A and B are shown apart, each in its own frame.
Chain A
Amino acid sequence: MDDTNRGQENAHPPAIVEVRNLTKRFGAKLVLDNVSVSIEKGKTTVIIGPSGCGKTVLIKHLIVLIRPSSGQVYFEGRRIDHLSERQLSRVRTHFGYLFQEGALFDSMTVAENILFPIRQNYRVKNWHQIEDVVKAKLAIVGLDGFQNYYPARLSGGQRKRVALARAIALNPEVILYDEPTTGLDPIRSDIINELILKLERELGVTTVVVTHDMKSAYKVADRIIMLHNGKMIADGDADHIRNHPHPVVQQFINGQVGEDDLAVLRMNGSAGSAQFLPRDFEE
């Protein structure tokens, strides 16, 4: 039922990022348990799974924002998990990372946010050219003209699009998306999905998306990996996942609550017994 070795059995394009036997503990809590994943170059890999299953922890390991408890992380065949922060800084410029809430710098304007990685990594001399770069990056996400806005003035969807423009500021080879559609309405979610596809198509980037939005996953994925309790329990294309025999995979993709969860709800009492009237507290 478990098909975690599928990556080794089938012929795949070369891996640009790879984690091997990755285990992560936070104190006594085991979050990732011996996970091995190869991210194929130029493809879109979607990591799905219920909340708290370790998806975000896994994607943060890909650029070593979190260090593994054991196991290794490779980028273009070179091991990176043991590098110093200074050495990692150079590696990370090959990646763009869209954070769940955008993580835009509140004290900077939209243009300054997009300029941030450029100014930090290059000695900028031609400011007119840089302004054009910012304009072009914003045009990609459909927000040209918002250069002087502060993040607080933007809607949730706009913030994510600005964060995406910032993520692609350094022309990365790999873009990592952490829950890109969470908190957005269906239309805004679809705009983000279209942007993911557009960037993959036009820039030829490798994409990794963490999500529990199955509509988004089916739309953008070349390959879907499912995590459950820190382990990889499914790996394949959209059809493979749709027809996967594992009951947890079927429950998740169909949005059905499991018998175990229902049993817990039944055991913890009825909703009626939790109701009260004001006179219950009055003498």
Chain B
Amino acid sequence: MIGALGARTIQDVVNAGHFGRFAWRSVNTSARSCVSRRTYPLVWTQIYLIGWLSAPVIMITGAFVGMTLAVQAYDQLAGMGLEEHLGTLINISVVKELGPVLAAVMLAGRVGGALTAELGTMNVTEQIDAVRSMGTDPIRYLVAPRLLACLLLTPVLIIYADVLGIIGGALVSFLQFGINSRAYWDLSAYGVDFWDVGVGVVKGFFFGAAIAVISCYKGFTCQEGAHGVGQACTEAFVSSFIWILALDFALAVISKNIYEIFWPLKSLVG
């Protein structure tokens, strides 16, 4: 029992080391690939697959988040006579937390799963070994374009989710609850500033990098057979989800501390 636990712990530490090395090589190679013109066509292909094809589902997610928030929060605010503050509540929640996190989770499912399945299949059919055997670094050819595309597009997709979330929330507030639109937008503009939007968008860079690195790693280390590929996809999604939540917490703490350093009195004034 103790022996098995020890062996498992050692294996987990070894796996963490492999992942750390893979992540470092991926980030390092991607940074160097930015200045290589050869990488651009590969990045464009991934931008189409990751960004363009994901946009509709991300926008739908954002819209439903905003609409649901409006329905859930209205009763609480109306009970206190603060229903005109609904916009502030919806928009701050959407741009700072729910928009980025749910858009990233949706991307982890749609894009991360596809990346793991594609690279996992290439791994078990020796196509990744074939890339290496022809003098090409598979990290440069396969991982860097996907990482760069996720890094660039996740913040953009988060902005899409934010915009649709704001529109969805506003429509439900106006059409279903009859809230005065002018008061709604005025109070929203007062309660949500560029810092809040910026925090949400910056989170996108970290979420995008985490999704790409985890999904590519799981594909590269995928076990043989259909079961192996399926398991790798599941592990990629679960790991990405946990990393998104952990990064979200860490970035929330960091952004709060930075905010308090630069604008220590704003919360009192506000």
- A positions within 8 Å CB-CB of B: 60, 63, 65, 85-86, 88-90, 92-93, 95, 97, 99-101, 103-106, 116-117, 120-121, 166, 169-170
Contact in complex: A93, B134 (CB < 8 Å):
yes
Contact in complex: B129, A89 (CB < 8 Å):
no
Contact in complex: A63, B133 (CB < 8 Å):
yes
Contact in complex: B126, A99 (CB < 8 Å):
yes
Contact in complex: A95, B133 (CB < 8 Å):
yes
Q: Which of A65, A101, A117, A169 contacts B125 (CB 8 A)?
A: A101
Contact in complex: B135, A60 (CB < 8 Å):
no
CA distance A197 to B130 in the complex (A): 23
Contact partners of B76 in chain A: CB under 8 A: none
Contact in complex: A103, B135 (CB < 8 Å):
no
- B positions within 8 Å CB-CB of A: 125-127, 129-130, 132-137, 139, 141
Distance from A88 Cβ to chain B, minimum over Cβ atoms (Å): 8
Distance from B205 Cβ to chain A, minimum over Cβ atoms (Å): 27
Contact in complex: A86, B137 (CB < 8 Å):
yes
Contact in complex: B136, A89 (CB < 8 Å):
yes
A92/B130 contact (C-beta < 8 A), A85-B137, A101-B125, A120-B141 known:
no
CA distance A85 to B129 in the complex (A): 12
Q: Which of A65, A101, A121, A166 contacts B135 (CB 8 A)?
A: A121
Contact in complex: B137, A117 (CB < 8 Å):
no
Smallest CB gap from A118: residue in B: B134
Contact in complex: B137, A103 (CB < 8 Å):
no
Q: List 12 A-B contacts (CB under 8 A).
A: A65-B133, A85-B132, A89-B136, A89-B137, A92-B133, A97-B133, A101-B126, A117-B136, A120-B134, A120-B135, A121-B134, A166-B134
Contact in complex: A117, B132 (CB < 8 Å):
no
Contact in complex: A92, B135 (CB < 8 Å):
yes
Smallest CB gap from A95: residue in B: B133
Contact in complex: B135, A117 (CB < 8 Å):
yes
Contact in complex: B130, A89 (CB < 8 Å):
no
Q: Which of B129, B130, B135, B137 contacts A93 (CB 8 A)?
A: B135
CA distance A95 to B125 in the complex (A): 20
CA distance A121 to B134 in the complex (A): 9
Give 10 nearest A-B pairs by CB, closest first: A117-B134, A93-B135, A103-B130, A97-B133, A103-B126, A120-B136, A89-B135, A92-B135, A99-B126, A103-B127
Q: Which of B130, B135, B136, B137 contacts A99 (CB 8 A)?
A: B130
CA distance A118 to B226 in the complex (A): 32
Distance from A169 Cβ to chain B, minimum over Cβ atoms (Å): 8
Smallest CB gap from B136: residue in A: A120
Distance from A217 Cβ to chain B, minimum over Cβ atoms (Å): 22
Contact partners of B132 in chain A: CB under 8 A: 65, 85, 88-89, 92
18 new A-B contacts, CB < 8 A, other than A99-B126, A100-B126, are: A60-B129, A65-B129, A65-B133, A85-B137, A85-B139, A89-B137, A92-B133, A97-B133, A97-B134, A101-B125, A116-B136, A117-B135, A120-B134, A120-B135, A120-B136, A121-B135, A166-B134, A170-B134
Contact in complex: B134, A92 (CB < 8 Å):
yes
Contact partners of B141 in chain A: CB under 8 A: 120
Contact in complex: B130, A170 (CB < 8 Å):
no
Contact partners of B133 in chain A: CB under 8 A: 63, 65, 92, 95, 97, 99
CA distance A220 to B74 in the complex (A): 81
Smallest CB gap from B29: residue in A: A86
Contact partners of B130 in chain A: CB under 8 A: 97, 99, 103-105
Contact partners of B125 in chain A: CB under 8 A: 101, 103
CA distance A60 to B135 in the complex (A): 14
Distance from B132 Cβ to chain A, minimum over Cβ atoms (Å): 6
Distance from B207 Cβ to chain A, minimum over Cβ atoms (Å): 27
Smallest CB gap from A176: residue in B: B133
Distance from B142 Cβ to chain A, minimum over Cβ atoms (Å): 11
CA distance A280 to B260 in the complex (A): 77
Contact in complex: A116, B129 (CB < 8 Å):
no
Smallest CB gap from A94: residue in B: B135
Distance from A125 Cβ to chain B, minimum over Cβ atoms (Å): 13
Smallest CB gap from B138: residue in A: A85
Distance from A114 Cβ to chain B, minimum over Cβ atoms (Å): 11
Distance from A262 Cβ to chain B, minimum over Cβ atoms (Å): 30
